[in-house]
Amino acid sequence: MKPAAVHVVGGGLAGSEAAWQLASRGVPVILHEMRPVRRTEAHQTDSLAELVCSNSFRSDDREQNAVGLLHEELRRAGSLIMSVADRHQVPAGGALAVDRVGFSEAVSRAIADHPLISVTREEVAALPPAEWDSVIIATGPLTSAPLAESIRTLTGEDALAFFDAIAPIVHFDSIDMDVAWFQSRYDKSGPGGSGADYINCPMDKLQYDGFVDALLSGEQHKSHDWEHVPYFDGCLPIEVMAERGRETLRHGPMKPVGLTNRHKPTEKPYAVVQLRQDNALGTLFNMVGFQTRLRYAIQAGIFRMIPALEKAEFARLGGLHRNTFLNSPKLLDATLRLKAMPRLRFAGQITGCEGYVESAAVGLLAGRFAAAERLGEAVLAPPATTAFGAILGHITAGHLSTDEPGKRSFQPMNVNFGLFPPPAPLVREPGKRLSAVDKGKAKRRAITTRALADLDGWLGNVAVEAAE
Ligand SMILES: Cc1cc2nc3c(=O)[nH]c(=O)nc-3n(C[C@H](O)[C@H](O)[C@H](O)COP(=O)(O)OP(=O)(O)OC[C@H]3O[C@@H](n4cnc5c(N)ncnc54)[C@H](O)[C@@H]3O)c2cc1C
């Protein structure tokens, strides 16, 4: 007997991939996409899987780059999005970029031609009706307002549509701990803290003045009209704070009080930049209060003016735009189901991943999970050592606690090596010394080799249907 249909709401990167995964396993799908009946602020066409901005899927290096690894995992798992991207590739050096129109049209065609998928063009403007017993909601960062409001009411969260204030995130091993030190302000331990939870980067007056000048002269992102939303006073971009007065930052996120420089105990810093642990592994730290809308091209240069961050590697740069995402670590279970209503599963950027490739990957996982559930099979999450597992771990078990009342600390994120468990220590060949660069490469190779071996084990030998 044919299984009952699963409903997928939203035909973007995640929804299209989820529908394909379900149908590839013999599960019928009804895909609900609101365009062209209702438009979003950013989409321009009626095509499924439209790329709203850049046409790049970023690096295709599966050995040295986390998103390149995710590409490879998607390919091995029979992803529609990746197979169409590969066929519509345009020259872009080491990146995988696509002909955006050809790409979206080909995804739309593959979905329309699949005998088990039917597409309805309608807005789902409230919680899906009770008779839809298995639903994947993949409505993205621009989820329509009525549906967002219904989800907000159901989850009891204060907000769902956020003005996405993003502070940069730094890889711990790129911070110079000969300059910075661990300490919480006034050594307060608080609930779950140790009294030494923050990394502190000191600045003298000259360094502070130079930094403020750089912020004031830095070019800001040109925003779309729909992004013109008022700033929350609690999370002003740092360059806006600097505009309000040269001393504002020193009395705000860069205040030096309650801290003693471990390396120079007698010297009082003029200002201090603090970083807070961002993931359970302790491999990533975010710059506290450093949300910014400075252009990406200049951010790294300005932040590397901070002593101890001269060689900082950024897992994510700062940004500020409208976004809609769940507080997933609190609200979703390990297979992306809403704890409060398990017939609803979420996928794509609304879960708190970020990027085209990550959204497609979470769509793939949601599709596989929903198919297994429908077919009465075991629902198995991918190993934490894979890129799939790393991104799923960020979503379902990401950073929850926050010491700032009224704010939550879970933020959307691209896949990056900081989300993977560290590999086994490198075994050095006797008499051979590796440079720092070679060590970094060897570490990344160890992570990606382990990931693909573990992925193959997870995928087993289940045959997957390739797109035409
Ligand atoms: C302005 C902007 C620019 C971005 N630029 C980039 C970039 O350059 N590179 C990058 O990697 N990522 C970018 N992103 C982030 C993100 O990767 C993309 O938004 C990505 O498309 C998310 O995939 P998704 O499937 O979750 O959502 P989407 O691709 O947005 O798909 C969601 C779909 O759901 C539909 N929908 C919404 N509400 C409803 C409803 N109630 N009923 C039925 N259908 C509905 C929408 O019409 C849409 O087709 C950008 C995001 C934004 C907002």
Dist. CA 7 → ligand 1 center (Å): 18
| Residue to substitute in 221, 229, 316, 356 for testing ligand 1 pocket (most ligand atoms within 8 angstroms of CB) | 356
161 vs 95, higher pLDDT = 95
CA distances (Å), origin 24, targets 17, 238, 434: 10, 48, 46
The ligand 1 atom nearest the CA atom of 51: 21
Which residue minimizes the CA distance to atom 3 of ligand 1? 53
50 close to 39: Cβ distance less than 8 angstroms: no
| Residue to substitute in 51, 121, 142 for testing ligand 1 pocket (most ligand atoms within 8 angstroms of CB) | 142
Mean pLDDT of the chain: 89
| Average pLDDT of span 29-46 | 94
Q: 242 by DSSP, 3-state: which?
A: helix
**pLDDT tens per residue, range 434-448:** 888 888 999 999 999
pLDDT for the residue numbered 399: 62
Dist. CA 18 → ligand 1 center (Å): 14
Which residue minimizes the CA distance to atom 49 of ligand 1? 12
| Average pLDDT of span 135-155 | 94
272 close to 259: Cβ distance less than 8 angstroms: yes
pLDDT for the residue numbered 222: 54
pLDDT for the residue numbered 53: 75
77: phi then psi, degrees, rounded to nearest 5: -90, 10
pLDDT band (50, 70, 90) for residue 88: very high
Q: For residues 195 and 220, what is the distance between their CA atoms, to the nearest angstrom? A: 36
Residue with tokens 């959204």: 359
| Residue to substitute in 8, 119, 139, 151 for testing ligand 1 pocket (most ligand atoms within 8 angstroms of CB) | 139
272 close to 201: Cβ distance less than 8 angstroms: yes
Instruction: Please return the burial class of 422, using the count of CB atoms within 10 Å of its CB with bins 0-12, 13-18 and 19+.
Output: middle
Dist. CA 52 → ligand 1 center (Å): 7
Dist. CA 390 → ligand 1 center (Å): 21
Q: For residues 116 and 39, what is the distance between their CA atoms, to the nearest angstrom? A: 26
| Average pLDDT of span 86-96 | 88
pLDDT for the residue numbered 347: 98
346 close to 136: Cβ distance less than 8 angstroms: yes
Q: For residues 100 and 84, what is the distance between their CA atoms, to the nearest angstrom? A: 11
Count CB-CB contacts under 10 A for residue 136. Answer: 29
**pLDDT tens per residue, range 320-378:** 666 789 999 999 999 999 999 999 999 999 999 999 999 999 999 999 999 999 999 99
Residue type, 329: P
The ligand 1 atom nearest the CA atom of 227: 1
Dist. CA 196 → ligand 1 center (Å): 39
**pLDDT tens per residue, range 160-173:** 766 666 789 899 99
332 close to 395: Cβ distance less than 8 angstroms: yes
186: phi then psi, degrees, rounded to nearest 5: 55, 20
Give me 13's structure tokens: 């990167």
pLDDT for the residue numbered 159: 64
Q: Does pLDDT of 467 surpass 50? A: no
What is the side-by-side strand order in the sheet with 181-182? Answer: 181-182, 198-203, 271-277, 284-287, 169-171, 314-316
| Residue to substitute in 13, 52, 107 for testing ligand 1 pocket (most ligand atoms within 8 angstroms of CB) | 52
Pocket of ligand 1, beta carbon within 6 A:
9-15, 32-35, 40, 42-43, 52-54, 123-124, 138-144, 147, 348-350, 354-356, 359
Dist. CA 376 → ligand 1 center (Å): 31
Residue with tokens 């403007």: 125
**pLDDT tens per residue, range 48-62:** 999 987 788 999 999
| Average pLDDT of span 430-436 | 83
Which residue minimizes the CA distance to atom 16 of ligand 1? 355
Residue from 224, 252, 247 nearest 237 by CA: 252
21 close to 368: Cβ distance less than 8 angstroms: yes
Q: Does pLDDT of 143 surpass 50? A: yes
| Average pLDDT of span 139-148 | 93
Q: Does pLDDT of 261 surpass 70? A: yes
436 vs 180, higher pLDDT = 180
Element (H, E) at 136: strand 135-137
The ligand 1 atom nearest the CA atom of 348: 26
pLDDT band (50, 70, 90) for residue 402: very low
pLDDT for the residue numbered 282: 85
Q: For residues 442 and 35, what is the distance between their CA atoms, to the nearest angstrom? A: 46
Q: Which residues pair with 284 in a beta bridge?
A: 171
* Cβ neighbours for 432, distance < 8 A, ≥ 6 positions apart: none
Which residue minimizes the CA distance to atom 4 of ligand 1? 53
**pLDDT tens per residue, range 336-349:** 999 999 999 999 99
Dist. CA 304 → ligand 1 center (Å): 32
pLDDT band (50, 70, 90) for residue 230: very low
Dist. CA 290 → ligand 1 center (Å): 25
Q: Cis check for the bond before 36: say yes or no (omega within 30 of 0).
A: yes
